[in-house]
Structure 1
Amino acid sequence: MVYVLGVNLPDRHLVKYALTQFYGIGPHTSERLCARFQMHRTCKVRDLTPLQVTALASFLSSPKEALSPPRYPTATPDFVPSTKSHQELAAEFRTERKQREADNKKPEFLLRRLRDARVRPDDLKELKIEAELRQEMRDNIAHQKMIGSYVGRRHAMGLPVRGQNTQNNAKTARKLNRVHRY
């Protein structure tokens, strides 16, 4: 058994299913976390290395401060592979890098990526789990109660909120009307 942030992850479960034990992590987020930490989709919790467990725990404890995964440049549509040897390409790359550092310029692929609207921000940075998510939900419910909305009143009376049926709808309607009158 692996304990990560107070949550027990069973050894025999696949990592992508075990991560759903955290309050606030569903199947889609779990798959994205596995991809971020390079865990194979058939990897079980017992097969995780200590480094992967540590990286996962540190990310889940504070996702906003975590570094984004490296993004590698992709080839442009007009790219033509070079016929130069590896040594020639490495030397050319080093000279270009020195020239860029001397000019203090960003590489072209970074500038393209900054201009490209298809590059989305890292959604996992906004991940909230366990106590933080529960607190946010309590705050939202308290706000609904404070403004006196229909949903807030149903929360206050302990009634179903999202359209579920109650035992006695007429009795519930009378309760709501009494609460609404002043």
Structure 2
Amino acid sequence: MVFIFGVNFHEQKLVQKALESFYALGRQSSSRILAKHCIHPRAKVGSLPPKTITALTAELSTMTIENDAKNIVQENIKRLRDMGTYRGRRHAMGLPVRGQRTRNQTETTKKLNMVPRRL
């Protein structure tokens, strides 16, 4: 097991996939990190030297990921709700926000789009 930024990864896991498992890190940003540290895209986590692992951890600590990114998203949604915009009202009602149809198939948005209401 390899420890990167507070998470244990199996030694056979690809480094790129391990980086993509962090919230707010996608394929493009993980590819940039790999290129910056001269790591092959198909490299496994277990094959990395300890020096590179500490460099990756230091790089991730400077980025806005995990809870920080989730808090920013929640603050943006709260700002939209406080302003009373169309998107904010849709978030508050648990309806699709980006123009999807509401006649059918809104069950997923009702589950995922709910923001706790304050009275």
Q: Distance between the aligned counterparts of 2:2 and 2:48, measured in 1?
A: 10
Q: In 2, Cα distance between the equivalents of 1:139 and 1:36?
A: 31
Q: Report the CA distance shift for 1:3/1:160 in structure 2 as closer, same or farther (over 3 A).
A: farther
Partner of 1:175: none
| Cα deviation digits, residues 28-64 of structure 1 (max 9, x gap) | 11111011111112211111111111111112112xx
Q: Give the counterpart letter for 2:66 in structure 1.
A: E
For the pair shown, the structure with the greater C-alpha radius of gyration is: 1
Normalising by structure 2, what TM-score?
0.78
Partner of 1:162: 98
Q: C-alpha displacement at 1:167, in angstroms?
A: 4.2
Tell me how many residue pairs correspond in the alignment. 105
Q: How does 1:109-124 map to 2 (within 5 A)?
A: none
Task: Please list every run of 5 or more consecutive structure 1 residues that lacks an aligned counterpart in the other structure.
Answer: 63-126, 169-182
Match of 1:147 among 75, 79, 83: 83
Q: Is the 8 A contact 1:5 1:57 kept in 2?
A: yes
Q: Does the CA-based 8 Å contact 1:7-1:21 persist in structure 2?
A: no
Match runs of 1:61-100 below 5 Å: 61-62=61-62
Query: Mind listing any 5+ residue stretches in structure 2 that lack a counterpart?
Result: 105-119
TM-score between the two structures when normalised by the length of structure 1: 0.53
Q: Distance in 1 between matches of 2:12 and 2:101?
A: 39
Which is bigger in relative contact order (C-alpha 8 A, separation at least 6)? 2
**1:74 — aligned with what?**
none
Query: Which residue number corresponds to residue 2 of structure 1?
Result: 2
Q: Which 4+ runs in 1 deviate beyond 6 A? A: none
AA of the residue aligned to 1:25: L
Letter in structure 2 aligned against 1:28: Q
Instruction: Tell me how large the CA RMSD over aligned residues is.
Output: 1.8
Percent identity between the aligned chains? 44
